[in-house]
Amino acid sequence: MTSISTAPRFNDIPYRRPDLDAIARETKALLDAFDQQPSAEDTIRLIRQWNKQRFDYSTNSSLAEVHYTQNVANTAAKDEKTFFDNANPIVSNYALDVSRRILASEHRSEIADTFGELFLRRLEASTRTISPEINDLLVREAELCNQFNEIQASAKLEFEGNTYNLSSIGGFAISPDREQRKGAVRTTYAFIGEHSAALDSIYHDLVQLRTEKAKLLGFSSYTEFRYVEFGRIDYSAKDVEVFRNAVLEHVVPVVQRYRIAQARRLGLEEIELFDEKLQFLDGNPLAQGDHDWIVERAARMYRELSPATGEFIDLMLSHDLMDLKSRDNKATGGYCTSFADYGLPFIFANFNRTTHDIEVLTHEAGHAFQAYSSRHFEVPEYRWPTAEACEIHSMSMEFLTWPWMNLFFEGETDKFFFYHLQGALLFLPYACAVDHFQHWVYANPTVSPAERNAEWRRLEAMYMPWRRTEAIPEAAEGRQWQFQRHIYESPFYYIDYALAQTCALQYWQASQKDPTRAFEDYIRICRIGGSMPFLDIVAAGNVQSPFDPATLPRMVNAVDDWLEERFPRYLDPVSS
């Protein structure tokens, strides 16, 4: 790994399309070396050599992904993305061959002593989910995901005489003018309606090929396959079901009450879908400046938070490692990736002049700070933990930066605290609905698109009984889920946010009492990276497992009590 002090700026990082023939030769040389039954010392050296090769490939793959999402209409960037879509299954099978040699080594104990037992467990899982049999299916899966991305990025929504994309039109969804937000939400959903046939077809094909992929590898369902592929080694789908039921029991009634209070604050009998994002009649709290103003204050915040976060933000700024502005042909959403050869993280987002600009900045900065803190690991699997642990870093960072929110929201800071903390509970039922929907879909892979939409409406009624969609035809039809990229691109990666939120709320609570200790615990799990399984990371961070039946109700009560004490005027605006 290049020293951080000499690492290049983002635009100077050299991109090189990997030479697949060279990778094949390097892999053969490694396999031949393993076949010679090397000593323990030589085995460790060979694994380190292999890890270095994997870092190099990962760096170029991440660069290709970033360049493509920055402009999906860029033909050259799309060509490189397509190259990796086609190459990844081939390279994964090379890695499979090496993994099997490592697992068959007579020096397993020495390997575990050097790299950790989890390294071997991750390799064992990969041998179950990778095979040349599914190469063509993996390529087709990537093609379908790209088609979904390009549909979303192509949106040119005409509204009130101007043109917007799916990110920038979002600012109108929080307009205090009810007719304006209704019109903006209708326009947004109409885009889904116009592309409904393509979106239905893409998803239907994804479900079929993912199911076929799992069956080819001997799994009973794609769900079982995905849990193994996602590295969920310390909990099961049954544990997740129990967690979802806990959300139904403990969170949904509280959120139902919050939605009634929201309607009262807005002067409405009940909220409709196009009202859901507006929390205050005089408007949601907004950062009081533009992109550059926000970034300048974020730099001050992270420099004051700790020496480590100060070094981190200075690196991100000096090396141009953030792309936050929304623009035409830019992929929607936000993410964090890293360039392994240099130990550099990268943040991608779409600011749209909503409260979410600050939430997404601190959220993705949490991911990036963890990647920065874990850059020392020589095992690729340890640079990032599994998804639910990753989201602890991001969602907790949102809360641990609360003492600096006045820099962004100034006189609206109290409104932000209410908006953000309440939002943590508002989010949980939706996250569980997304997860429940996916479990149902892959348990019933042959159903029609219409049946999927009907199931989404059923789950909305269960998890979000306050939702009124009559004014938005596409939503009434059950198409809201088609905005959710994770459902298309990364199945079963959504409950991770709910599990992590349950942990992040514990950091919020701890930071109210002892911010220094809370941040020390947070730093600890960032440095752990992926070197432990999820529940071990949770324990190391001094928080309780989200699967402990006492955890969720305890946190819901803590949040509810705090909001009731601090903001009775928002939760009972009539009597106030």
CA distance 157 to 531: 45
pLDDT at residue 574, rounded to an integer:
55
Residue 100 CB partners (closer than 8 Å, separation 6+) = 127
DSSP sequence for 295-353 = HHHHHHHHHHH-HHHHHHHHHHHHTT-EEEE--TTPPSS-EEEEETTTTEEEEEEEE-S
CA distance 124 to 131: 13
- Count each helix (H run) and each strand (E run) in the chain, helices first: 26, 5
pLDDT at residue 6, rounded to an integer:
85
Nearest to 525 by CA among 503, 548, 505: 503
HEC string of 159-212? ECCEEECCCHHHHHHHCCCHHHHHHHHHHHHHHHHHCHHHHHHHHHHHHHHHHH
CA distance 118 to 96: 17
Structural contact between residues 466 and 271, judged by C-beta atoms closer than 8 angstroms:
yes
CA distance 316 to 299: 9
pLDDT at residue 354, rounded to an integer:
85
Dihedrals phi, psi of 556, to nearest 5 degrees: -60, -45
Q: Tokens 């409406």 — which residue?
A: 457
Domain boundaries, the chain: 4-141
Entry pTM: 0.94
pLDDT tens, residue order, the chain (576 aa): 666 778 999 999 999 999 999 999 999 999 999 999 999 999 999 999 999 999 999 999 999 999 999 999 999 999 999 999 999 999 999 999 999 999 999 999 999 999 999 999 999 999 999 999 999 999 999 999 999 999 999 999 999 999 999 989 999 999 999 999 999 999 999 999 999 999 999 999 999 999 999 999 999 999 999 999 999 999 999 999 999 999 999 999 999 999 999 999 999 999 999 999 999 999 999 999 999 999 999 999 999 999 999 999 999 999 999 999 999 999 988 999 999 999 999 999 999 888 889 999 999 999 999 999 999 999 999 999 999 999 999 999 999 999 999 999 999 999 999 999 999 999 999 999 999 999 999 999 999 999 999 999 999 999 999 999 999 999 999 999 999 999 999 999 999 999 999 999 999 999 999 999 999 999 999 999 999 999 999 999 999 999 999 999 999 999 999 999 999 999 976 544
What the block records as the tokens of 431 is 């996250």
Structural contact between residues 73 and 329, judged by C-beta atoms closer than 8 angstroms:
yes
Report which residue type is found at 370: Q
pLDDT at residue 576, rounded to an integer:
45
DSSP alpha helix (H) spans, 403-481: 406-409, 413-443, 449-463, 473-476
User: What is the H or E stretch that residue 158 is in?
Assistant: strand 157-159
User: What is the H or E stretch that residue 157 is in?
Assistant: strand 157-159
